[in-house]
Amino acid sequence: MGFMSRFAANKGALVGLVLLIALLAFAVLGPWLYPTSPWRMVARPFTAPFVTDRFLLGTDTLGRDVAAGLVHGTRISILIGFVSTLVALLIGVPLGALAGYFGGWIDDALMRITEFFQTIPSFALAIVLVAVLQPSIYSIVLAIGIVSWPPVARLVRGEVLSLRTREYVQAAITVGQSTLRIIFSQVLPNTVAPIIVMASLMVASAILLESSLSFLGLGDPNLMTWGYMVGAGRTRLMDAWWISFFPGVAIFLTVLALNLVGEGLNDALNPRLSRGRE
């Protein structure tokens, strides 16, 4: 079976993919759908949803369009999810590869550092980092990246540990390839599959982490994000449920979609490891 058919064999993954494509479409088309700023006070505050066509999802405490916030929030959430995952990979993959390939004291040193980060509760560390660096999109991406890389490093280290004893790696060493070249051309390409699977799940957790930070008021105060919307509407949950509800659903669906896709990718990329379905 090819990659596509193995992926398609997982029904959940297909659903996730459809959801994800829809989200990406919203992110791309957002500015055309809602050209004005989502911060603009456009209507009477607390307009209920599904009452007027213009404000299908209602308005919030200041009369801002919840639907506009949702669509603009999609861009931010997806952007933060992908970029901070990239940051985590940029830290985690090289560290894991070095530790796994060289072993010995390098491995020991790098793994102690990794463990140091793993033992600190990641959300608490993210809060501290954002608070110290001042909340902005950059500090949030950096903080999420910094708290998310240790599992990547451990995964890559494990893969590299097993790969470096393979014959083709030994052959490359015998032929006299430089160490860097061996790592990049012989070892790392073979770790891509598990990294991709892990990364898809990391995007989901990064989105959750960003939402949690925004919910606590540690988001970028100049960006409309889902977490901010949930947080700002939280206190009005009793009389204006829709302000928090719709962005909450958006977070839920996005994280679900990414998890489903991640599982589908796992099935497709590691056919031997995937559980039998049928």
Q: Which of 12, 63, 103, 158 binds another protein (CB under 8 A)?
A: 63
Binding flag, residue 134, another protein (CB under 8 A)? yes
# residues contacting another protein (CB under 8 A): 20
- Over its C-alpha atoms, the chain yields an Rg (Å, rounded) of 22
Q: Which burial class, exposed, middle or buried, applies to 2 when counting CB atoms under 10 A from its CB (0-12, 13-18, 19+)?
A: exposed
Nearest CA to 140 among 119, 125, 121? 125
Task: CB nearer to another protein: give 40 or 181.
Answer: 40
Task: CB nearer to another protein: give 219 or 264.
Answer: 219
Q: Which of 12, 43, 61, 82 binds another protein (CB under 8 A)?
A: 61
Binding flag, residue 270, another protein (CB under 8 A)? no
Shortest Cβ distance from residue 16 to another protein (Å)? 34
Binding window for another protein (CB under 8 A); candidates: 4-12, 76-84, 129-137, 250-258: 129-137
- x-or-dash pattern for another protein, window 17-56, by CB under 8 A? --------------------x-xxx---x-----------
**Cβ neighbours around 188 below 10 Å, total:** 20
| Helix residue spans in 103-238 (DSSP H) | 104-119, 122-133, 137-163, 167-175, 179-181, 192-215, 226-234
Residue 106: alpha-carbon gap to chain centroid: 29
Binding flag, residue 132, another protein (CB under 8 A)? no
Task: CB nearer to another protein: give 41 or 106.
Answer: 41
- For 3, phi then psi, to 5°, come to -60, -50
Binding flag, residue 236, another protein (CB under 8 A)? yes
- Tokens read off for 161: 């540990």
Q: Which of 135, 145, 151, 247 binds another protein (CB under 8 A)?
A: 135
Task: CB nearer to another protein: give 90 or 237.
Answer: 237
Nearest CA to 66 among 85, 97, 41? 41
- Tokens read off for 129: 């980092």
CB neighbour list of residue 124: distance below 8 Å, 6 or more residues apart: none
* Residues at the interface with another protein (CB under 8 A): 37, 39-41, 45, 61-63, 131, 134-135, 217-218, 221-222, 232, 235-236, 238-239
